Amino acid sequence: MPREKFQTLTEQMFYILLCLRKECCGMDIMTEVSEITDGRVSVGPGTLYNLLEQFAQAGMIRETKVEGRKKSYILTQKGAVTLREEFERLRKQAADYVRLVNGED
């Protein structure tokens, strides 16, 4: 059975949504993701705008303003819930690792 879309998020998806807790445009998101992760994660424009469109269609973000070609977005309640659920999933995954690896000592 195929997984539901956005049931789990890639790192890029996670950080894009994390940035959109406050209103941002695409360039701001690309810069902030790189800064937050010390360059470990980067998001190119093709990936970013594709994901922004998918997130908007899924009701996870909404467009807040358009100035020429520059569009700004913000997280919706549905997006905030998705982000929180992904955080909890990752936290449980990390806790399992710690529990199992520490048990090997």
Query: Domains plus CATH for the chain?
Result: 11-102 (1.10.10.10)
**85-95 tens-digit pLDDT:** 999 999 999 99
Beta bridge partners of 67: 70
Residue pair 79/17 in contact by the 8 Å Cβ criterion: yes
CA separation (Å) from 4 to 1, 7, 8, 65, 84?
9, 5, 9, 30, 17
Output the pTM of the full model.
Answer: 0.89
What's the confidence (pLDDT) of residue 6? 74
Please name the residue that has the structure tokens 């449980």: 92
